[in-house]
Amino acid sequence: MRPSSEAELAEAVAGAKGPLLVRGGGTRTLGHAVGEVLETGGLSGVQLYEPGALTLVVQAGTPLAEVQAVLAGERQRLAFEVPDLRGLLGREGVSTIGGVLAANASGPRRVQVGAARDAALGVRYVDGTGTVVKNGGRVMKNVTGYDLVKLMAGSRGTLGVLTEVSFKVQAVPEAEATLVVEGLGDAAGLAALRSALGSPFDVSGAARNAGRSLIRVEGMAGSVAYRIGQLRDRAGGDVTVVNGEASAALWRAVRDVVPLQGKPGEVWRIATLPTAAAGIVAGLEAQALWDWGGGLIWLLLDPGRGAEVAAAVAGKGHATLVKGQGGPVFPPESPEVTALVAGLKAKFDPRGILNRGMMG
């Protein structure tokens, strides 16, 4: 099904006879849900864009590329740097803005500006009974009632089908530069990232890829030059500075997990404490890409090592199987949280038809 309006979509959900597989572009879907496909692509278009207020309201099925083009026309962007996981997951298709929020998809700049959920100002969605609900709005500060925007962000369509989303957007800075630090082992290279993040120099990216630690700053040209200079003086190893488009290319590779694309094996995504990052990877002896100063690890592993991964991150974070066969995809929750999640699902989707089984 591909409804062309919110009302049609609500009708489709209300009248559904069985489970529905909610899909934006299907470019970052995880988990094992089954059901009749319900596409949101028919709900497309920018509803409101006020560059002077940094505010965007857009229908959920709008292609991400279209949103980005509209913003670029005013030299603005989505601050949270949406990853394109098609290469990693071997998917075709067109990412939608609703899918981005439903997956809380956030890239390297999360260390500076937060995730998709932090930029989201409002949502409209259709719950599992076919009822249209709105929450939040289009203004940056809003504490009126409960924040269901955060609950919908990252819920992957299991609580409701997003029909409209509002975001706070960001001006594209005039300059960017990346410090490339070579000649350090993983432990020292990750420590260099933490040191940069603990400095007052407003780092907007801190990653480690193929033996190189990458530290990014963005802003006005003079400011970028100053901060890169300060950070260079603090970094150990052999240091070079990369500017402009060459810098951007380095970060696209990190954002889209390019080093692990097209390789056999399973890919795990681990959120952890930056100080635990080197140890986790060393213990598992796997190829890794580190982002968020070590707080995010992308790991390439042979199949069947899920138990080892879980043991390695226990008490230090959590791991999601983003590419692989079988097994639970999302990390287990505590019994108390599991009970709350089950309770919420029963309220939002009493028939259990939305992406049934996707998040456990």
Partner 1 sequence: MDMPAPDLGVISRKGRIVARLRAVLPADAVIDAPEELRAYECDALTAYRCPPLAAVLPRSTEEVSRVLRVCWEEGVPVVPRGSGTSLAGGAMPTADSVILGVARMNAVIETDYDNRFIRVQSGRTNLSVSGAVEADGFFYAPDPSSQLACAIAGNIAMNSGGAHCLKYGVTTNNLLGVTLVKMDGTVVTLGGPWGEPSGLDLLGVVCGSEGQLGVVTEAWLRILPKPEGARPVLVGFNSNEVAGACVSNIIKAGILPVAIEFMDRPCIRATEAFAKAGYPDCEALLIIEVEGSEAEIAEQLARIKQIALAHDPVEFREAADEDQAKRIWLGRKSAFGAMGQINDYMCLDGTIPVSSLPHVLKRIGEMSVEFGLDVGNVFHAGDGNMHPLILFNANTPGDLEKCEAFGAEILKLCVEVGGCLTGEHGVGIEKRDLMSVQFAPADMEAQMRVKDVFDPKWLLNPAKVFPLGASARRRAG
Q: Which of residues 62-101 bind partner 1 (CB under 8 A)?
A: 74-75
Which DSSP letter does residue 185 get? Answer: -
In degrees rounded to 5, what are phi and psi of residue 311?
A: -65, -40
Helices and strands: H and E segment counts in the chain = 13, 17
- From candidates 295, 321, 355, 356, binder to partner 1 by CB under 8 A: 295
94 vs 188 by CB, closer to partner 1: 188
Selected range binding partner 1 among 22-30, 234-242, 246-254, 317-325, rule: CB under 8 A: 317-325
2 vs 129 by CB, closer to partner 1: 129
324 vs 360 by CB, closer to partner 1: 360
63 vs 353 by CB, closer to partner 1: 353
Angle at the Cα of 321 from the Cα atoms of 319 and 324, rounded to 5 degrees: 155
One DSSP character per residue, 257-276 reads TGGGTT-SSEEEEEEE-GGG
Selected range binding partner 1 among 13-21, 130-138, 237-245, 248-256, rule: CB under 8 A: 130-138
Residue keyed to tokens 């999302």: 330
Read off the amino acid at residue 57. V
Half-sphere exposure of 289 (CA within 13 A, CB side): 21
- From candidates 19, 87, 93, 154, binder to partner 1 by CB under 8 A: 154
CB of residue 94 to partner 1, shortest distance in Å? 26
Binders of partner 1 in range 234-263 (CB under 8 A): none
341 is a contact residue toward partner 1 (CB under 8 A): yes
117 vs 305 by CB, closer to partner 1: 117
Structure tokens at 208: 């480690």
Selected range binding partner 1 among 15-23, 63-71, 142-150, 301-309, rule: CB under 8 A: 142-150
253 vs 344 by CB, closer to partner 1: 344
CB of residue 220 to partner 1, shortest distance in Å? 5
Instruction: Report strand pairing: 296-301 vs 287-291.
Output: antiparallel
63 vs 272 by CB, closer to partner 1: 272
157-195 burial, b at 16+ Cβ within 10 Å, e below that, comes to bbbbbbbbbbbbbbeebebbbbbbbeebebeebbbbbbb
- From candidates 115, 161, 281, 321, binder to partner 1 by CB under 8 A: 115
Binders of partner 1 in range 176-235 (CB under 8 A): 194, 197-200, 202, 219-220, 222-223, 226-227
Using alpha carbons, list the distances in angstroms from residue 124 to 9, 138, 157, 277.
12, 11, 12, 37
CB of residue 195 to partner 1, shortest distance in Å? 9
Please give the helix or strand (H or E) that residue 188 lies within, else none.
Answer: helix 186-197
